Amino acid sequence: MLHATVASTLPHRSPLQISAWSHERRWSIRGEEPLQGLSLVDGRTDDLAEVAKAARAWHDGAALDDIHQAAPFVHLTGRFDVPDHDPARLTESEWRSMRLEAAELESDWQEFYQSLIEAAHAEPALRALYPFTSHWALRFSTTTRPHLTIVGPCLSTSGEGMYGVGRGFISPDLGQFSTAREAVAAAVHHLPADLGPVALGG
C-alpha cells in the first residue's frame, strides 16, 4: 500500500494524505484545508511510528502547533485554520505562509526574494490583497483561491539585486529597481483605486 488517508474530526480540514516512497523506507504527509486545497502541514520521515502520531493528532483535531509537538518531523507551512472561511483571515494566513516560505527558501537568491516579500507585506495597500506566486513572481488578487482575480502589477526579482515591476507576468515594463522597497512603491502607485476588501474566490 503506497497511499492512505486519515480523516479529521474537524470539518475544515481535509483528510491527511500519507504516501509511502517506492524505493526506500520513507513516508511523506500533507494536510490541507478543503476550500483552497492548500497545505497546513507537510513533512517526511523514515519513522512510521512518527507518522502514526501525526495521523492521530490530525484525526483528533489537535492544534497545528500540537501536531508538530506530537511528531516533530511535521513541518508547519505557516497557514492556520480558518473555519469560517473569512477572506481577511485567509489573506492573513496566506501572507504568513508566504513569508515563512521565503525565510526557509534554500537558494542563492533567497535574500532578494525574502526582501521582496517582506517589503510587499510591510505596505498596507498590498498586505490587504491576497498574495500568490508563480515562478517566484509575486502577484495579487482581490479574491482568495480557488478562483483568483488578478489585480495590480507583478513583482519579480532576478536574484542579482534587481527588482522588476510589470503589467504582465515577469515583464518589467513599469521599471526595474535596485531595492525591493522602491519596486513595491512603484507597484502601489499602479494599483487601481477603491479596490475594497478581499472576497472569497469560490
Does 156 lie in the same domain as 178?
yes
Among 26, 48, 76, residue at a domain's last position: 76
Beta strand pairing call for 3-6 and 16-20? antiparallel
How far is it, in rounded angstroms, from Cα 183 to Cα 198? 23
The DSSP line for 38-73 is EEEEEEEES-HHHHHHHHHHHHTT--HHHHHHHSTT
Q: Within a domain: residue 137?
A: yes
- How does 60-99 read in b/e, with b if 16+ C-beta sit within 10 Å? eebebeebbebbebbbbbbbbebeeeebeebbbbbbebbb
Q: Cβ neighbours of residue 131 under 8 Å, at least 6 residues apart?
A: 91, 94, 95, 98, 120, 138, 139, 140, 141
What is the 8-class DSSP label of residue 27?
A: E
Does 110 lie in the same domain as 184?
yes
Does 99 lie in the same domain as 57?
no
Whether the bond into 146 is cis, omega within 30 of 0: yes
Domain of 65 in residue numbering reads as: 3-76
Predicted confidence band of residue 147 (pLDDT cuts 50, 70, 90)? very high
Does 93 lie in the same domain as 192?
yes
How far is it, in rounded angstroms, from Cα 155 to Cα 148? 17
Q: What percentage of the chain carries pLDDT values higher than 90?
A: 86
Does 127 lie in the same domain as 159?
yes
Does 171 lie in the same domain as 91?
yes
Among 33, 50, 76, residue at a domain's last position: 76
- pTM equals 0.94
Closest CA to 35 of 142, 129, 146, 127: 146
Does 45 lie in the same domain as 106?
no
Q: Flag whether pLDDT at 170 surpasses 80.
A: no
How many domains does the structure of the chain reveal?
A: 2
Does 175 lie in the same domain as 112?
yes
Q: Within a domain: residue 48?
A: yes
pLDDT in tens, 49-66: 999 999 999 999 999 999
Contact assessment for residue 126 and residue 109, using Cβ atoms and an 8 Å cutoff: no
Among 19, 42, 76, residue at a domain's last position: 76
Q: Within a domain: residue 175?
A: yes
The region of weakest confidence among 27-36, 99-108, 164-173 is 164-173
Does 196 lie in the same domain as 103?
yes
Question: In the predicted model, what is the mean pLDDT of the chain?
Answer: 95
pLDDT in tens, 150-160: 999 999 997 67
Does 40 lie in the same domain as 128?
no
